[in-house]
Structure 1
Amino acid sequence: MYRIVKVLNNNVAIVRDNSDQQAVIMGAGITYQKKKGDLINEESVERTFTLRNEESQNNFSTLLKDIPLDFITTSYEIIERAISHYQYSVQEYIYVTLTDHIYLSYQNLNKGTYETAALPNMKADYPVEFSIGENALALIQEKLGVTFPTEEIGRIALHFINAKGTSLSIKTDDGIEKKMIALVQNELSAAGIRRTNKNKNYYDRLMIHLNYFLERITNDPNETEPFSLNFEETLKTDYPQAYQIGDRIYELIESHLGKSLNENERIYFTIHIQRLL
């Protein structure tokens, strides 16, 4: 049995299960004429998204303020399918960044402001992530009735490449993290990149990546799977300004931390900055 914490609509609710863990449940008419504290039978639930910790709960609540529920649940289903079908471990922040990306792309398509920016073909080097991206587009079409350009396969795949790993908590209060973020923001500002209403989604996404990156290299310095050299060279050629700024940030962090960084990060910074540019 599930006990309702909050009714979101006739088909969706935030609940607590028998283990007192919070989750989002979905099912046709499962909350009709129900209220907080009422019980729902497990048999009537079609889909469950477990909110594993306080961070998960805060992320879901934050998304609800700005993004329609069907976009949130579709994004969550994409991630949960990747986890279950491919045993793909992700960091918690992907629930926010992927949902934000899908909804932003949808808005741009509707307004006619969608910008094409072909990325290198990742199918050979990242077949799992590419397959996740393909499945994501099919699910978006099925659940939302939205047909995205095929290049979204690569963009969604990048979210999974970026967020691959075990779940981590952000520690922005720690001195070194706070200092490094300030240095990066100064570097961005010097390059003419500041947070605005227009770019805030991409800017905040870069800051989220930076937070997790700083925590990861502090606690787990092990190397991750590298990008192919061809991928890096293509980005360097196609996006020279973004690569130059990303390279400066990479060297800045490496210099201040006094340790060698994974070469992947130069690529991640380039991709984030290209979105901002």
Structure 2
Amino acid sequence: MKVKRVLNNNAVVALNSIGEEVILKGKGIAFNKSSGDIIDESKIEETFVSQNNNVNRRYQDVLVHIPVDFIEVSDEAISIIKTKINKELSDQIYVTLTDHIANLIERLSMGIEFDNSLLWDIKRMYKEEYSVGLEVVELIKKRLDVKVPDDEASFIALHIVNAMMDTNMHQVIEITSMIDDIYDIVQSYFNLKFDKEGIDYNRFILHLRFFFERIINKKSLGVEKNEHLLEILKKEYPKQYKCVIDIVKYVGTKFENSINGEVLYLMIHVVKLTTV
């Protein structure tokens, strides 16, 4: 392969055998290289290929403008995340997390702290991702020799969720707030203090996460065909049904996508959560 563009001393853009633009990374892979030079393939440590041209372009900008040590820490962090999180992640995490780490170091040097009012919700709703976020925080402390507050794990967790849902950070934060609002709707209907460590509560939160993921990715659950079961539950649990309809209306004010196929599944979870 030949160099198309040098990004930094350890990264180049090249064209592979089928004409795809790829980013090749490796220690010193671009040393003394320029456009048109042959790449020493023994130095290739990682090949980055994204089907999303926007992500590909943005990642090239990251590799040009962000210090190499931050990029290396981000790559190591993403390896940890991929090992711990058993779900496909969007390529955008290479852009968003690397940029976040660079901004974090800049913020710390300036003594700026982000609003962490969502911290508790993140720890409660995204337990696995928050736990991995703590590991990434420890990695950043160790590799970059900086003091990073553990609260930073909440922001790392949001980047992980963002990559899992393949959405944007604004939507992830909005969804986090909406899940909390839906919990409040259920709680106000039944005046219950739910066990937030209980299995039914955690299943409900997990379902809401997948619920919003399907809405964002325009996927249908397709379970509403079983109208007979829904009618049975509606008659047996009228209060739960009314609660679910209010939830559906609330979500409908935020997202235009049809969510008709979710009523039965929501009903099942609300019944489980509110009955002994």
User: What TM bracket, shorter-length normalisation?
Assistant: 0.5 to 0.7
Q: What residue number does 2:253 align with? A: 252
Shift of 1:8: 2.2
Say whether the 8 Å CA contact 1:137–1:147 is kept in structure 2.
Answer: no
Q: What residue number does 1:75 align with? A: 74
In the alignment, structure 2 segments of 5+ residues that lack a partner are 175-211, 223-248, 263-276
Which amino acid is 1:252 matched to?
T
Relative to structure 1, the CA distance from residue 209 to residue 153 in structure 2 (aligned partners, 3 Å threshold; closer, same or farther) is closer
Shift of 1:109: 0.6
Q: What residue number does 2:136 align with? A: 136
Partners of 2:60 and 2:88 lie apart in 1 by 23
Say whether the 8 Å CA contact 2:221–2:261 is kept in structure 1.
Answer: no
Query: What SS class does the counterpart of residue 102 from structure 1 fall into?
Result: helix
Shift of 1:146: 3.4
Larger radius of gyration: 2
Which amino acid is 1:33 matched to?
N
Which amino acid is 2:49 matched to?
T
Relative to structure 1, the CA distance from residue 207 to residue 164 in structure 2 (aligned partners, 3 Å threshold; closer, same or farther) is closer
Equivalent pairs counted in the alignment come to: 200
State the TM-score, normalized to the length of structure 1: 0.55
1:206 is aligned, of 150, 153, 170, to 170
Partners of 1:207 and 1:66 lie apart in 2 by 27
State the TM-score, normalized to the length of structure 2: 0.55
Deviations 1:88-107, CA, capped at 9 Å, x for gaps: 31234333332332222221
Deviations 1:180-223, CA, capped at 9 Å, x for gaps: xxxxxxxxxxxxxxxxxxxxxxxx8427988xx79954621449
Shift of 1:112: 0.7
Partners of 1:143 and 1:16 lie apart in 2 by 32
Q: What residue number does 1:155 align with? A: 155
Relative to structure 1, the CA distance from residue 218 to residue 136 in structure 2 (aligned partners, 3 Å threshold; closer, same or farther) is closer
Say whether the 8 Å CA contact 2:16–2:22 is kept in structure 1.
Answer: yes
Partners of 1:249 and 1:63 lie apart in 2 by 38
Which amino acid is 1:106 matched to?
I
- Whether 1:103 and 2:102 are equivalent positions in the alignment is yes
Which amino acid is 1:148 matched to?
V
Relative to structure 1, the CA distance from residue 110 to residue 122 in structure 2 (aligned partners, 3 Å threshold; closer, same or farther) is same
Partners of 2:250 and 2:146 lie apart in 1 by 36
Q: What residue number does 1:271 align with? A: none
In the alignment, structure 1 segments of 5+ residues that lack a partner are 169-203, 224-247, 263-277
> 1:18-29 to 2 correspondence within 5 Å?
18-29=17-28
Partners of 2:171 and 2:53 lie apart in 1 by 20
Partners of 1:145 and 1:18 lie apart in 2 by 41
Say whether the 8 Å CA contact 1:137–1:153 is kept in structure 2.
Answer: yes
Which amino acid is 2:137 matched to?
L
Query: What SS class does the counterpart of residue 252 from structure 1 fall into?
Result: helix
> 1:55-204 to 2 correspondence within 5 Å?
55-64=54-63, 67-84=66-83, 86-115=85-114, 117=116, 119-120=119-120, 126=126, 128-165=128-165
Relative to structure 1, the CA distance from residue 218 to residue 66 in structure 2 (aligned partners, 3 Å threshold; closer, same or farther) is same
Relative to structure 1, the CA distance from residue 137 to residue 86 in structure 2 (aligned partners, 3 Å threshold; closer, same or farther) is same
Larger relative helix fraction? 2
Query: What SS class does the counterpart of residue 38 from structure 1 fall into?
Result: coil
Relative to structure 1, the CA distance from residue 123 to residue 97 in structure 2 (aligned partners, 3 Å threshold; closer, same or farther) is same
Partners of 2:252 and 2:52 lie apart in 1 by 35
Query: What SS class does the counterpart of residue 120 from structure 2 fall into?
Result: coil
Report the RMSD for the aligned CA atoms in angstroms.
4.1
Say whether the 8 Å CA contact 2:130–2:157 is kept in structure 1.
Answer: yes
Say whether the 8 Å CA contact 1:93–1:163 is kept in structure 2.
Answer: yes
Relative to structure 1, the CA distance from residue 146 to residue 117 in structure 2 (aligned partners, 3 Å threshold; closer, same or farther) is same
- Whether 1:9 and 2:8 are equivalent positions in the alignment is yes
Shift of 1:65: 6.7
Say whether the 8 Å CA contact 2:2–2:36 is kept in structure 1.
Answer: yes
**Percent identity among equivalent residues?**
29
